[in-house]
Amino acid sequence: MTQMKNKFIFVLLQSFLIFFSCSSQTINTITFDNKNLLRLRDASNYDLNIQKAKNELIKKCNEILANSKTYSVTYNISAYPFAKSNDYTSRSRYWWPNPKTLDGLPYILIDGKVNRYSEKVSDKPMIDGLANDIIHLGVAYFYTKDESYVKWASKILDCFFVNNKTRMNPNFNFSQVVPGQDDSGGSIMESVVLINVIEGIQLMKSSPNFPEQLKIELNSWFLKYLNWMNSDPVGKKNARYTNNRGTYYTLLRCAIALYVNNVELSRDIFNDEAFKRVDEQISKEGIMSKEISRTLPLGYVKYNLSGFLQLNEIGKKLGFDLFNYRGADGQSLKNALAWLNNFRDQSKVWKYSTERGITTPRLLSMKGQDETKVKFTVERFDDCLETLTIIKE
């Protein structure tokens, strides 16, 4: 009788521990707010908007599985004879043949006007497609625990980062090359989507179907890419930019350092650079002069703010407060957000000029609304992922 009683107590204790561990589950994301994610997942049981977004996400992920599309930089024929098949290659999208020379060289900049041929000779669709699929599969797995999402994600990650025939070399030496400019290439801007890749991995890697060897290989790839950004002369030249490129250079290195579990390096990068980025880019009025001087200023302002907000989230995990920081001359991220938020007032018109003197914001950002009276947020994802990852205060 005593033995049966002890067995019953043991089973009861086991059940309690399992329940407790499930109810107190933690996650370890990079640029997401972990507590908010858990709150959103709990709310999905009763919030109709979240349930709708969840159903839309599941539909998208099931389409990803049905399409069975893999991604690799080796699928395209490189436009550069000096690059290897495993190198990432792309042309800078705003550069065009020079009409004053017979061979069109060197190309000239027409800011805001996309050269569609650059897209045909670019690996950007490959890395963008991979990042889109991985972040969707990762969030879907977080909400559903459907192991089929992890199994497929593992395959496309292996194809892009690990398999010797199809893997990408861990550098961006030949990204955004400008024909006729020998010192071009090396921009990290097309690698920004790798943040979504590592976020998706973080949400899936606790699965029993996420191979341990794949984790090791991915860690190795991202460590090599981090070293390229930190130490290679081509990678390091991204540091000198005092616009959105500088913001994302700091963000990428902080994020990847956290991903490879080098917290100290991430902290050092953040402490050395994040606050300086605010000081050098944002006026006391909240204006980002380098961004509003572009042909498509609203898109660039929002994009840079998105980078700063992700950097702020990393800072919170490292013990820093970028959001409430104020520079010696009053520069602050809060001021930049407040400046942008002023245009929620429908009586205020966005007056910053765009191409050919047009005084309306980028059409792509407007989602069909009146361009001169637009309401907006600093969005990062499509609508369903926004709903499922960001708590709107």
Supply the pLDDT for residue 344: 66
Q: What is the pLDDT of residue 376?
A: 42
Q: Supply 95's token pair.
A: 């550069």
Q: What is the CA radius of gyration of the chain?
A: 23
Cβ-proximal residues to 320 (8 Å cutoff; 6+ apart), any chain: 270, 271, 274
Q: Strand 174-177 vs strand 108-109: parallel, antiparallel, or unpaired?
A: unpaired
Residue 41 CB contacts under 8 Å (≥ 6 apart), including other chains:
142, 143
**Rounded Cα–Cα distance for residues 289 and 292 (Å):** 5
CB 370 within 8 A of CB 376: no
Q: Say what the alpha-carbon torsion angle 179, 182, 185, 186 is, to the nearest 10 degrees.
A: 180
Measured distance CA(59)–CA(53) in Å, rounded: 10
> Given this model, what pLDDT does residue 352 score?
76
Residue 133: name the closest of 162, 155, 153, 119 by CA. Answer: 153
pLDDT tens-place values along the chain, 393 residues long = 444 444 444 433 343 333 333 334 568 999 999 999 999 999 999 999 999 999 999 999 999 999 999 999 999 877 677 889 999 998 877 878 888 888 878 888 888 787 777 777 799 999 999 999 999 999 999 999 999 999 999 999 999 999 999 999 999 999 988 877 777 789 999 999 999 999 999 999 999 999 999 999 999 999 999 999 999 999 999 999 999 999 999 999 999 999 999 999 999 999 999 999 999 999 999 999 999 998 888 888 889 999 999 999 999 999 999 999 999 999 999 999 888 887 766 666 777 754 333 333 333 333 334 433 333 457 788 889 999 998 765
**What pLDDT does 154 receive?**
98
The pLDDT, as a whole number, for residue 13 is 39
Q: How long, in residues, is the chain?
A: 393
Q: What is the pLDDT of residue 356?
A: 34
Give whole-number Cα distances, 296 to 51, 142, 302, 335, 352, in Å: 35, 36, 11, 21, 9
| Residue 157 Cα distances to 4, 71, 132, angstroms | 50, 9, 12
Q: Measured in Å, how far apart are the chain's first and last C-alpha atoms?
A: 57
Distance CA 186, CA 345 (A): 40
